[in-house]
Amino acid sequence: MKLGFLTACLPKQSLENLVVWAKNIGFEMLEVACWPVKNTRDYSSTTLDVANLTKDKAERIKKLFEDNNMQISSLAYYDNNLHPDLVIRKSYHDHLKKVIDAAHLLGVKYVGTFVGRNYNKTIKENFDEFEIVFKEILEYAKSKNVSIIIENCPMPGWNPNGGWMGTISYSPELWEEMFSRLPYDNFGLNLDPSHLYWLGIDPVSVIKEFKDKIFHVHAKDTQILKDKLNKYSIFGSQIQRKNEWDMGYWVYRMPGRGEIDWKAFLKELKQNGYSFVVSIEHEDPEYEGTEEKVKEGLKLGFEYLKDIINKI
């Protein structure tokens, strides 16, 4: 397994600078953020402007990675592909296709996104829409030799009904439905154990069942604040939220600073045939605020995970 990170945490850095810095730390891959240049979503950035990517630019980027013995693990664009506003939804789909086009030009196999949710409809109605929407997306990706990977974050901040989930792809039950409705071979998971943990799901337990659908792996840790959980319940704070994402009883941490058993998780992945990237998604609030702190957090995560990977 090779270590990488999602570049969204360093939005002001150029791709060239990120490649050189990552290589010097010891990373071997980058998960490149590809949100639109004009974008207000948190934890997003435009490391690669796919709307203006040409064949010549793509060749230069490929050479940049080759010269530094690095690889792009995936292109990342995570938005709500089932957004209830059809105009907004179409804009997301149009940009996602540009990301797929960019992956094709760069020879990158994976494009990461969310399924999302229309929170005005039932789960069944959402899956009916999903089947139509993602059939088109998957067919388009297949024509470009690209696979779509779904990150399993519940995105509760997208749902105005506080505490309910903003995607329909956050649990093994929903993954079963998702893959049974669209059994495409270019459709899989970007498995992130951090979300499973605060949802009460053992991240290790899902690996064997979904081993054939785990195409990419995120590395982010979670700390449960037990006193807050006792106050707010698993649905999170309903009155005292600092923002729409603040459920109050858990905090994301760098790998090794939370409660996930990374040795067991990575060992299970390895035993079930996974040998691709473990990509750090940096959302630890104690290592945010400046580029120096973000990089310090990434180094911490790298060193912790590298030590485990070397031993399993």
Query: 208-230: per-residue pLDDT in tens?
Result: 999 999 999 999 999 999 999 99
User: Angle 123-143/172-181 helices, nearest 10 degrees?
Assistant: 60
Q: Would you call 214 helix, strand, or coil by DSSP?
A: strand
Q: Closest Cα to residue 151, out of 78, 203, 252?
A: 78
Residues facing 217 on adjacent strands: 191, 278
Average per-residue pLDDT for the chain: 96
Residue 186 has pLDDT above 90, yes or no: yes
Backbone angles phi, psi at 6, to 5 degrees: -80, 125
**Whole-angstrom distance, CA of residue 152 vs CA of residue 147:** 16
Which residues touch 300 (CB under 8 Å, ≥6 apart)? 254, 256, 257, 287
**Whole-angstrom distance, CA of residue 281 vs CA of residue 258:** 14
What token pair was written down for 17? 């600078």
Query: 29-73: per-residue pLDDT in tens?
Result: 999 999 999 887 766 789 999 999 999 999 999 999 999 999 999
Question: What pLDDT score does 202 carry?
Answer: 98
Query: 87-127: per-residue pLDDT in tens?
Result: 999 999 999 999 999 999 999 999 999 999 999 999 999 99
Q: Closest Cα to residue 187, out of 139, 116, 118?
A: 139
User: Angle 262-271/291-311 helices, nearest 10 degrees?
Assistant: 60
Task: Evaluate if pTM is beyond 0.75.
Answer: yes
Residues facing 224 on adjacent strands: 250
**Mean pLDDT, range 117-143, rounded to an integer:** 97
> Which superfamily does 2-218+256-311 belong to?
Divalent-metal-dependent TIM barrel enzymes (3.20.20.150)
Do β-strands 214-219 and 187-191 pair in parallel, antiparallel, or remain unpaired?
A: parallel
